Amino acid sequence: MYSPCWKFWTVFCVLLAYNIYVQGNAYDPCLSPTTCGECIRVPNCVWCSHKNMSVQGNSSHPCQLRDLMTYCPIESLVDPIPVEKILVDKPDELIQLRPQRVSVTNLRQGLVHNFSMQFKVVKNYPADLYYLMDVSHSMLDDKNNLVRLAGSLVETMRNITTEFVLGFGSFVDKNVIPFVEKTNASCGPRSFPEIGCSVTYSFSHKLSLSDNVNEFTETVNSTRIVTTFDVPEGGFDALLQAMVCKDQIGWRERSRRLIVFATDAHSHLAGNGRLGGIIKPNDGLCHLDSNNMYAEALRQDYPSLGQISRFAKDNNMNIIFAVTNDVKSSYLEFSKFVPGSSVANLDPNSENIVELVRETYEKISSSVEMIDTSGPEVRVRYYTACTGTLVRENNKCEGLKVGDIVNFTISIEAIECPANVSARTPIIQIKPVGVNEVLTLDLEIVCDCACEKPGGHGFVANATECNSSGDLKCGVCECDSSHSGSHCECRGNENIVELETNCKPDNATKILCSGRGDCFCGKCQCHKRPNSMEEISGTYCECDDFSCDRFDGNLCAGHGSCNCGQCLCYAGWQGSDCNCKTTNETCIPIGGGDVCSGNGVCNCGSCQCSATSNGRYCEDCPTCPSRCDEFTPCVQCKVFQTGPYSADNEAVCNSECTYSIETQETVQVEETSERECSYENEKKCTVKFVYGFDSNGAILVRVQQEPICPPPIPVLAIGFGLAGALIALLLLALLCYRLVTYFYDKREYARFLNERENAKWNTDNNPLYVNPTGTFKNPTYKL
């Protein structure tokens, strides 16, 4: 289970790595650009505008990786390097941002340039506070408390920065039913006697920013509380006017700007105006009349959250939503969309307003967040360690104290070359949120080479290098409409890429003319060889007559001609180097026989023997059938003038029996390759011979001079002997017979004599007589 899996992943990884390797090698991004401008838009590619660099050839491609560009005179090298210049850097007690204006020119597409910027938390940085108060009836106690606490607020803030100014404005809601109960001053049923009756208004700017505390207290004290009908108030109308009416409010040019937006109710947003029949969208402009009242309240809708957010950002406003706990959640939602804003929890009677402003201000002034106005063609990144030591990508620092210096590294990257030329020199504003200071960056993205433009160094109009048919730009010809080619030497307006396709067999091939010729107006001109006997030819210079196979240093072994890398062998020769004879002659043993003795095949003029045979002709083969029968007739006719060949005539014997036949006194097998044969001649004598091969492989037959004949048989002697033996046997048999009969007769006679002496010869006792009348008795004969 485990092992095949492991193998698979190994193979997969190897293949993947190989793929990456191959692709990584095959792709050189600097080879595709054909003009200087295209070249320098590829990071790390540099352009050589030297005139002679535009010739065809491998390493002299005018666009190259910087590290590989070794052949270009330094004055002809086009390799834009970013140039950074600090234009304005005013050190000032009250300026937090340094430098104030920087220019970065010659920044190439895809390149990153770093420069540094400092943000210093200065003491007594100006602070502008505009107090925007909801004066609907529920805020009565808040108003009274603010009157009481104003002095303390100013004192606290002066403790932080001496440059503190304060302004005041109030808001209620649009004076339109249903937002108010009544549009005139007469008191309605829901009025409160203690606050009297007054006309509702949208926004009233009461006091411009000033350092006069008493004026502030008096203004707040004299502000009248107003009754409304619905609970949400029209505070965003007031907020927008307070932000955009710079002159009336008196916002200072360089200061930290705060708006305290104090309310205990929700706010109407864009679209709510429809309820009162107001449909015209808010135009975001300042509309304060001579009485410092918002004049367009009844004609324009409430502003949208987007407008609030935009003006807060543009005007560096830090809005403090000082709201009571019951409506806090909705302002927290708004705050997310408004940069530099925060939400603070206001006591129901604004008792904590001083503490709240101080805390918020300290939070704001102890942090810095960088923002910029870069477009899509540039990416701006911020790196800082804040007050620590670890530098990381970060645009925000918190917890700063007066006197702290934050070093930012600002990294600008040109992402693209914008088609719109004016967008190649963007002016980017980099600034801290909520501080009206800015670092202006004049950027120039370089997308073209100077030598491409008329008048630039390296630009030659109607240049002779371009056959007076085009302009020389950065060392490369740009041909007019009726010419093409690297030197505008070709007629017709086909571009050079199209012409080059005619110089290679297919699109996949990159090398023109097989690397052995020059592509000239779509035709390959093959290179000449130093040796005039050799020639490169073919449409793509793919052929030559010198790179065929060689044998012993001879092209085609001297037995053929070389044609486009292939030997064409003369008759009688074959093989890739023409070193093989086509005949089988050399495979037939000298003196005749089968090709390779029948034990192998003839290959390129020599035998390839089967496994059981050996020798030049595979003649050495102990297990193969013998050739005795083949040689017998020749031995017969050559040595003994007998046999089938000699019977016809001598000519046949001579023509068939070309191998050497020797006679020897005795023959016997002397080598393993030899074989013994024999045959019986007409005299019934055995002829013995041995065949073998000499050192050349020629057949050699050795014949024993004398056939081996059997000795003659003595017939007469055998005949007499046989006859004699027979007679002797006969006589012996006769003699035996005589002896047997003699001894028998002699014994019988002796018995007769014996019996005649003992027997009583009467008629009664005649033993041979049997009574014919007596009982039958078995006759017993006695001898």
Residue from 423, 438, 450, 652 binding ligand NAG (CB under 6 A): 423
Residue 595 interacts with ligand NAG (CB under 6 A)?
yes
The residues in 498-557 that bind ligand NAG, with binding defined as CB under 6 A, are 501, 507
CA atoms within 13 A on the CB side of 217: 12
Stretch that binds ligand NAG, among 151-159, 262-270, 543-551, 736-744 (CB under 6 A): 151-159
Q: Which amino acid is at 591?
A: G
Tokens of 125: 């940085």
Q: Residue 425, interface with ligand NAG (CB under 6 A)?
A: no
Is the bond leading into 99 cis (omega within 30 degrees of zero)? yes
Binding ligand NAG by CB under 6 A: which of 391, 729, 736, 770?
391
CB of 328 to ligand NAG, least distance (A): 26
460, 471 contact by CB (below 8 A): yes
Bridge partners of 520? 523
Min CB(344)–ligand NAG separation in Å:
18
Interface with ligand NAG (CB under 6 A), residue from 155, 362, 662, 745: 155
Residues in the chain: 783
Interaction between residue 602 and ligand NAG (CB under 6 A): yes
| CB-count burial class (<10 Å; 0-12, 13-18, 19+) for 288 | buried
Per-residue mark of binding to ligand NAG, 675-704 (x: CB under 6 A): ------------------------------
- In the list 10, 583, 603, 649, the residue contacting ligand NAG (rule: CB under 6 A) is 583
Which residue's CB is nearer to ligand NAG, number 198 or number 411?
411
Binding mask 446-465 for ligand NAG (x = CB under 6 A): ----------------x---
Q: Does 405 bind ligand NAG (CB under 6 A)?
A: yes
- Binding residue for ligand NAG (CB under 6 A) from 3, 25, 186, 422? 422
Candidates 52, 468, 668, 696; binder of ligand NAG (CB under 6 A) is: 468
User: Other CB atoms closer than 10 Å to residue 294's CB: what's the count?
Assistant: 26
Q: Which of 5, 62, 72, 22 is nearest to 38 (CA)?
A: 62
Which segment (122-130, 155-163, 628-636, 667-675) binds ligand NAG by CB under 6 A?
155-163
Rule CB under 6 A: say whether 106 interacts with ligand NAG: no
Maximal C-alpha separation, the chain: 220
The CB density around residue 211, as the number of other CB atoms within 10 Å, is: 13
Q: Among 229, 383, 520, 640, indicate the residue that binds ligand NAG (CB under 6 A).
A: 383
In the complex, least distance from residue 488 CB atom to ligand NAG, rounded to whole angstroms: 11
* Amino acid at site 708: I
Distance of CA 293 to the CA centre of its chain: 69
Quick one: DSSP state of residue 571? T
Q: Is 584 in the site for ligand NAG (CB under 6 A)?
A: yes
Distance CA(777)–CA(769), nearest Å, equals 12
Binding segment toward ligand NAG, per CB under 6 A, in 102-110, 247-255, 403-411, 617-625 = 403-411
For residues 285, 289, 293, 299, the Cα torsion angle rounded to the nearest 10 degrees is -60
What is the footprint of ligand NAG within residues 40-79 (CB under 6 A)? 58-59
- 443 Rama sector, left if φ>0, alpha if ψ -120 to 50, beta otherwise: beta
Q: How far is CA 592 from the centre of its chain?
A: 66
Q: Map residues 249-288 to x or -, x wherever contact with ligand NAG holds by CB under 6 A.
A: ----------------------------------------
Q: Which is nearer to ligand NAG, 34 or 409 (CB)?
A: 409
Q: Which is nearer to ligand NAG, 507 or 666 (CB)?
A: 507
On whether the CB atoms of residues 606 and 589 are closer than 8 A, the answer is: no
207 binds ligand NAG (CB under 6 A): no
Shortest gap between Cβ of 156 and ligand NAG (angstroms)?
A: 4
CA distance 686 to 689: 10
Q: What is the dihedral of CA 745, 748, 750, 754, to 10 degrees?
A: -160
Handedness of CA 662, 666, 671, 676 (dihedral sign): positive
CB nearer to ligand NAG: pick between 155 and 211: 155
Which region, judged by CB under 6 A, interacts with ligand NAG, from 44-52, 183-191, 340-348, 405-413?
Answer: 405-413
How many Cβ atoms sit within 10 Å of the Cβ of residue 58? 8
**Does residue 202 contact residue 301 with C-beta atoms inside 8 Å?**
no
**Spatial CA neighbour of 475 closest among 490, 463, 492:** 463
Q: Are strands 63-65 and 77-78 parallel, antiparallel or unpaired?
A: unpaired
Q: Which stretch binds ligand NAG (CB under 6 A): 122-130, 261-269, 404-412, 440-448?
A: 404-412
Nearest Cα to 100, choosing from 411, 437, 427, 372?
437
* Least separation in angstroms between CB 678 and ligand NAG: 32
Among positions 34, 409, 502, 563, the unique one binding ligand NAG when judged by CB under 6 A = 409
**Contacting positions for ligand NAG (CB under 6 A):** 58-59, 112, 114, 147, 155-156, 159, 217-218, 221, 383, 391, 405, 407, 409, 411, 420, 422-423, 462, 468, 501, 507, 583-584, 595, 601-602
